[in-house]
A and B are shown apart, each in its own frame.
Chain A
Amino acid sequence: MSGANERTTRQDRVSETTASEALASAMSQDQIARLMRRRGEESRWWWIVPTVYIIVLLLPIYWLINMSFKTNAEIVSSLTLYPHQPTIANYVTIFTDASWYSGYINSITYVVMNMVISVAAALPAAYAFSRYRFLGDKHLFFWLLTNRMAPPAVFALPFFQLYSAFGLIDTHIAVALAHCLFNVPLAVWILEGFMSGVPKEIDETAYIDGYSFPRFFIRIFMPLIASGIGVACFFCFMFSWVELLIARTLTTTDAKPIAATMTRTVSAAGMDWGLLAAAGVLTLIPGALVIWFVRNYIAKGFALGRV
């Protein structure tokens, strides 16, 4: 009896859903679209919020660019909204003085070194975390996370002493290794997120086809997560590029990053604002360039590969 009852109720439910489906299809697509438009009156003005926000974001940056094209006399004497006597003297100084442009070369060198080391080490580890369970895996993963969260200020002094002991102070590799502290965990997290999206059947099929692990990993697996590797590289680049406290502590002259060189603009004659601004503007360019390549994956990377 109860069985029959169940069947009838189920039939009722089925007919209900078909009814609502029929209603929905009776309301044709453009009716729905019209409904949506009427409800979303504000949608015509949607662009105001992002536009205002972007203008606010760009205003301080514009001010820096504006200053970099001015002479110091103009900067100090009056507030002008655009350079009245535009000059590129500040940029010429930076590109002709070795103590200035070597700062950029140093920064790029250790950032790239760090990027390569971090991603190369993180690739097999991320594969292990995404495919296998092993003794202590969860604890290890948590421990890696804590390093991403570790305040650089805590590590500045011990790093200085550790690298002094190895005679590595003022070398690019010292900064590159030190930045691994927060970049390796980050790369593992991001790559693990991307790798978990690749079905395991692909691995198994490859092994059955007689691929060895290294050959499978390089030939088949890495191309599949190419976007993930790109995103991981981008984030390693980014966090190594913006970090200053550790980089400054570990270097004196030969590997000094550009960001630290900028403090030189304070001299006996006062502040060289134009030069400072020009140096600042040049540090924006690498970031702006790489951002374009990963624009569709930025958010996924920030969510540690977990959106």
Chain B
Amino acid sequence: MEKTWNNKAWFLVLPVLVLVAFSAVIPLMTVVNYSVQDTFGNNVFFWAGTEWFEELLSSSRFWEAMVRNLIFSFIILAIEVPLGIFIALNMPKKGWGVPVCLVLMALPLLIPWNVVGTIWQVFGRNDIGLLGYYVNALGIDYNYVQDPFDAWVTVIVMDVWHWTSLVVLLCYAGLVSIPDAFYQAAKIDGASRWAVFRYIQLPKMNRVLLIAVLLRFMDSFMIYTEPFVVTGGGPGNSTTFLSIDLVKTALGQFDLGPAAAMSLVYFLIVLLLSWVFYTVMTNYDAER
């Protein structure tokens, strides 16, 4: 659509600007302020320069949490995206099945995140949980409270359970926008199932897939509540992701300086990723 140049449009944006300034800019400035200062309590602050940043970037704890978080994000993307596409391809296209499938599949997305944690905490326990009990009954030693590997499996399965539906819904939206004529043409040409997927369905899903991958990456990169409720970051530190580590430092120990420095580094990484996302997407829009 042709847009007209009009700087008065700023007045329409003003309410949003004020609101977001209050809930984003001021808090962020507080963080910047703390990140370069030290305190011994009683609101007495000293200039500390880049001390906290140097300490953070040389601390193995931060890098370990970062690596854990990246591994986690990549594992869940590798599972959720192909699985989501596969399920979306098998969804009914019309009839009564469509609303039923959509509503039931979207259900996990609307559960408060700590309740998701609670559900899996209970479900996976080997004394009172359906999953834990039967997995152990099958002779597999499974205990997410004590074994780091089992804790990881639980957290990953939980995330797949929680968020695969998002990928399914997005892919499905892309698929239903393909006109029937495309499929008919492919059938007449005798295209194989794979060719239909590769040359008709995948190109149509490109855009929604991009959104799905990036939303899932961002959200898994800032995951906090669900693993915190299930494992509390343990056993040991094995499931302590970046957000959990940050909250431990900031609200648990009230180490303002280190927490603020960590917040900023964390936020800058997210900012960089958002920029990549935005650029790729606007370029994609321009091509169309």
| Contacting residues, chain B, for A128 (C-beta < 8 A) | 9-10, 12-13
Contact partner, B123, options A60, A181, A184, Cβ 8 Å: A60
Which segment of A1-9, A83-91, A225-233, A299-307 sits at the interface? A299-307
Decide if A35 touches B187 in the complex (CB within 8 Å): yes
Please list 30 pairs of residues, one from A and one from B, whose beta carbons are closer than 8 Å in the complex, sorted by A's number: A32-B188, A39-B193, A53-B87, A57-B165, A60-B161, A122-B16, A133-B6, A138-B282, A153-B222, A157-B250, A159-B23, A177-B22, A181-B20, A200-B2, A242-B112, A242-B113, A244-B113, A259-B112, A260-B114, A262-B114, A277-B122, A280-B119, A284-B107, A287-B110, A295-B106, A302-B166, A303-B170, A303-B208, A304-B211, A307-B177
Which segment of B53-61, B94-102, B144-152 sits at the interface? B94-102
Given contacts A283-B112, A296-B102, 19 further A-B pairs with CB under 8 A are A32-B187, A47-B97, A49-B86, A117-B19, A125-B12, A128-B9, A135-B10, A140-B17, A146-B274, A151-B224, A151-B243, A154-B246, A162-B27, A273-B122, A280-B118, A292-B103, A302-B170, A303-B170, A307-B170
| Contacting residues, chain A, for B99 (C-beta < 8 A) | 295-296
Query: Shortest distance in angstroms between B183's beta carbon and chain A's nearest beta carbon?
Result: 7
Decide if A154 touches B30 in the complex (CB within 8 Å): no
B174: Cβ under 8 A from any A Cβ? yes
A61: Cβ under 8 A from any B Cβ? yes
A171: Cβ under 8 A from any B Cβ? no
Query: Shortest distance in angstroms between A173's beta carbon and chain B's nearest beta carbon?
Result: 12
What's the Cα separation between A219 and B4 when bound, in Å?
23
Decide if B27 touches A155 in the complex (CB within 8 Å): yes
Decide if A60 touches B119 in the complex (CB within 8 Å): yes
What's the Cα separation between A246 and B168 when bound, in Å?
29
Decide if B13 touches A140 in the complex (CB within 8 Å): yes
Say yes or no: A133-B5 contact (C-beta < 8 A), given A177-B23, A276-B118: yes
A268: Cβ under 8 A from any B Cβ? no
| Contacting residues, chain A, for B109 (C-beta < 8 A) | 238, 287
Chain A, interface SS category: helix
B283: Cβ under 8 A from any A Cβ? no
Query: Shortest distance in angstroms between B169's beta carbon and chain A's nearest beta carbon?
Result: 4
Decide if B130 touches A242 in the complex (CB within 8 Å): no
What's the Cα separation between A145 and B120 when bound, in Å?
31
Decide if A144 touches B173 in the complex (CB within 8 Å): no
B111: Cβ under 8 A from any A Cβ? yes
Residues of A112-162 contacting chain B, CB below 8 A: 117, 120-122, 124-125, 127-135, 137-138, 140, 142, 144-147, 149-162
Query: Shortest distance in angstroms between B283's beta carbon and chain A's nearest beta carbon?
Result: 13
A24: Cβ under 8 A from any B Cβ? yes
A-B interface, 9 closest residue pairs, ranked by CB to CB distance from nearest: A287-B110, A299-B173, A158-B27, A151-B222, A49-B90, A128-B12, A153-B243, A132-B9, A128-B9
| Contacting residues, chain B, for A57 (C-beta < 8 A) | 104-105, 107-108, 161, 165
Say yes or no: A159-B122 contact (C-beta < 8 A), given A61-B107, A303-B211, A307-B174: no
Q: Per-residue CB proximity of A168-180 to B under 8 Å, as 1/0?
A: 0000000001101
What's the Cα separation between A125 and B101 when bound, in Å?
34
**Least CB separation from B265: chain A residue:** A154
Q: How large is the interface on A (under 10, 10 to 19, 20 to 34, 35 or more residues)?
A: 35 or more
What's the Cα separation between A292 and B103 when bound, in Å?
6
Contact partner, A288, options B4, B110, B177, Cβ 8 Å: B110
Q: Per-residue CB proximity of A258-275 to B under 8 Å, as 1/0?
A: 111010000000000100
What's the Cα separation between A156 and B263 when bound, in Å?
10
| Contacting residues, chain A, for B274 (C-beta < 8 A) | 142, 145-146, 149
Decide if A134 touches B101 in the complex (CB within 8 Å): no
Query: Shortest distance in angstroms between A239's beta carbon and chain B's nearest beta carbon?
Result: 10
B179: Cβ under 8 A from any A Cβ? no
Query: Shortest distance in angstroms between B232's beta carbon and chain A's nearest beta carbon?
Result: 12
B266: Cβ under 8 A from any A Cβ? yes
| Contacting residues, chain A, for B91 (C-beta < 8 A) | 50
Say yes or no: A298-B251 contact (C-beta < 8 A), given A131-B4, A287-B111, A307-B208: no
Decide if A124 touches B12 in the complex (CB within 8 Å): yes
Query: Shortest distance in angstroms between A244's beta carbon and chain B's nearest beta carbon?
Result: 5
What's the Cα separation between A178 and B26 when bound, in Å?
12
B140: Cβ under 8 A from any A Cβ? no
**Least CB separation from B158: chain A residue:** A60
| Contacting residues, chain A, for B106 (C-beta < 8 A) | 291, 295, 298
A36: Cβ under 8 A from any B Cβ? yes
B138: Cβ under 8 A from any A Cβ? no
Query: Shortest distance in angstroms between A269's beta carbon and chain B's nearest beta carbon?
Result: 16
What's the Cα separation between A259 and B225 when bound, in Å?
11
What's the Cα separation between A59 and B5 when bound, in Å?
54
B71: Cβ under 8 A from any A Cβ? no
Query: Shortest distance in angstroms between A60's beta carbon and chain B's nearest beta carbon?
Result: 5
B7: Cβ under 8 A from any A Cβ? yes
What's the Cα separation between A302 and B165 when bound, in Å?
11
Decide if A300 touches B119 in the complex (CB within 8 Å): no
B153: Cβ under 8 A from any A Cβ? no
Query: Shortest distance in angstroms between A55's beta carbon and chain B's nearest beta carbon?
Result: 10
Say yes or no: A184-B87 contact (C-beta < 8 A), given A79-B133, A287-B110, A291-B110: no
What's the Cα separation between A67 and B115 when bound, in Å?
14
What's the Cα separation between A284 and B114 when bound, in Å?
12
